[in-house]
Amino acid sequence: MTVILVALGAAVGAPLRYLVDRAVQARHGSAFPWGTLVVNVIGSLLLGVLIGGAAVGAVPGSLVALLGVGLCGALTTYSTFGYETVRLFEDGARLPALLNAIVSVVAALGAAFVGVTLAETMWA
């Protein structure tokens, strides 16, 4: 049953990632990967809320499988983040590449921390 939940979440997360990425990139006419940054931060925040809720017993494991592993796993994308950072660097945009790496890691980890803290505050 868990595998089915993960697959269902991923079936929603992957197209959602594509749609959000395209919508965000369309609003920013730059080569900087804003869309990937946005989906990674949103996914990290949601995963933080789910894990924080699970830690205090408010979110069941089935919901973590569906939304955490499935949806967030497909929504967020480390491989695209890596590819886009390397592409920026190879295209001579070294400062944007460096900023993408730093901002992505700091913002995603910060969002996860905020998510856990919110969940623990709401459900503790």
Contacts 24+ apart (CB under 8 A), 7-11: 7/70, 8/66, 8/70, 9/65, 9/66, 9/67, 9/68, 9/69, 9/70, 9/71, 9/72, 9/73, 9/74, 10/70, 10/71, 10/73, 10/74, 11/70, 11/74
Task: Tell me whether residue 73 is annotated as binding.
Answer: yes
**Of the candidates 117, 80, 93, which has an alpha carbon nearest to the alpha carbon of residue 30?**
93
- d(CA 49, CA 69) in angstroms, rounded, equals 13
Q: Which residues are annotated as a binding site?
A: 73, 76
Q: Which residues are annotated as a binding site for Na(+)?
A: 73, 76
